[in-house]
Structure 1
């Protein structure tokens, strides 16, 4: 007679079934949240990518950064969807998981391929910013130098007359002092323009480099994590 052993085996099977049921109950919320998060990320990415403006380095760089910034949420979503492996999967979910697993590899490659573009766009934007700042600086400097030349060619008496027409009180006994004061102000303005140009250029370049390093390193890490997800979900591709 082996009834005690059969009863013991039956208890073990029942305990395993109860554990599996509890496990499935705890797994489903993670997967539901994962699918929901993936849908949100997809909507967010579509709003970032459209309308496109290819060959525009600023748009490409900012879009690259926006995609990288939102990628961690996608990683969490994928992790939740794959949580629990092949246990308690619904009909038709296997095909979706297979597509998602290969999608991890595809996204990993795309993020890797975006690295050279991110670096190139960093250089292009820096050149573009420098050209815009230089053009504005040269324009302001030319105006200051033109005013300086006009001051140099204007006699003290003419200068006093012009200033008085503007309603500014001046010391008519020392017209040369007025001219020297104005020339000194122009010189200070030229110095201020150069300092402002250098500060703005340095600030813009620092912000650009910081974003470039952050986003390119982020893309590299995300690519590695997506590749790891692809490797560890080989069960979904079988």
Structure 2
């Protein structure tokens, strides 16, 4: 081999060594970013559970949704952490990687088990909302019925004027003169109360429908998200068998 060939070979070796060093430095940087993202998610996760509200369906449902909305962060973090296999690793990392691999399995199982709870809480919240709206409707109907009974029992202009003043919470109620005007006001007030009751029921039904739609949308989004995230965590666990077995 001539001197020129030797020089070219040395340059190629140096070039490969430089590229390998740069790649290892890149892996170290990627792994560091992954660990950082995982820590940020951990802080956020702890924050979501303080203070805890277990057995409260609203808290459980909202916390479940908040975790699912953030679940992409640890998945991306794990991809960055395991990227490059054993390359660019510090000695202490191998035990940590093995723990993260098993943690992926645990996360997958928990997310899978959270789906039935999410569905159950959806049903419970829907029933609670319906019961609350029905209670409000009944209370309003009772108030309207009481007013209707008072209107029916009015026999004098003074009584009607006092009733209108109480309903309007104002001292400048129009003066009622004569029995004919009294009957007219009674009919108008009774009609207004009937219309108000119908409008109240329609508004309550509309609110109930909107609330149910919003609940259903969140439930579908979060439960499907939990299923997908669970499958991805299981996949991470399967693809990181090399660290659990001590092979590359």
Do the two structures share a fold, i.e. TM-score over 0.5? Answer: yes
Q: Mapping of 1:5-154 within 5 angstroms?
A: 13-154=13-154
Q: 1:169 aligns with which of 171, 174, 188?
A: 174
Shift in Å at residue 19 of structure 1?
A: 2.3
TM-score (norm 1): 0.92
- How far apart are the structure 1 equivalents of 2:213 and 2:127? 13
Aligned to 2:208: 201
**Cα deviation per residue 1:3-59 (whole Å; 9 max; x = unaligned)?**
999888766654443222111121122111111111010000001012211111001
Once the two structures are overlaid, the 10-residue window that deviates more, 159-168 or 130-139, is 159-168
Secondary structure of the residue aligned to 1:202 is helix
Q: Is the 8 A contact 2:154 2:160 kept in 1?
A: no
Once the two structures are overlaid, the 10-residue window that deviates more, 160-169 or 197-206, is 160-169
Aligned to 1:214: 221
Q: Is the 8 A contact 1:133 1:197 kept in 2?
A: yes
User: Is residue 186 from structure 1 mapped to residue 193 from structure 2 by the alignment?
Assistant: yes
Q: Structure 2, unaligned stretches of length 5 or more?
A: 166-170
Equivalenced residue count is 238
- How far apart are the structure 1 equivalents of 2:30 and 2:123? 42
**How large is the Cα RMSD of the aligned pairs?**
2.2
- How far apart are the structure 2 equivalents of 1:13 and 1:236? 30
Q: Is the 8 A contact 2:137 2:204 kept in 1?
A: yes
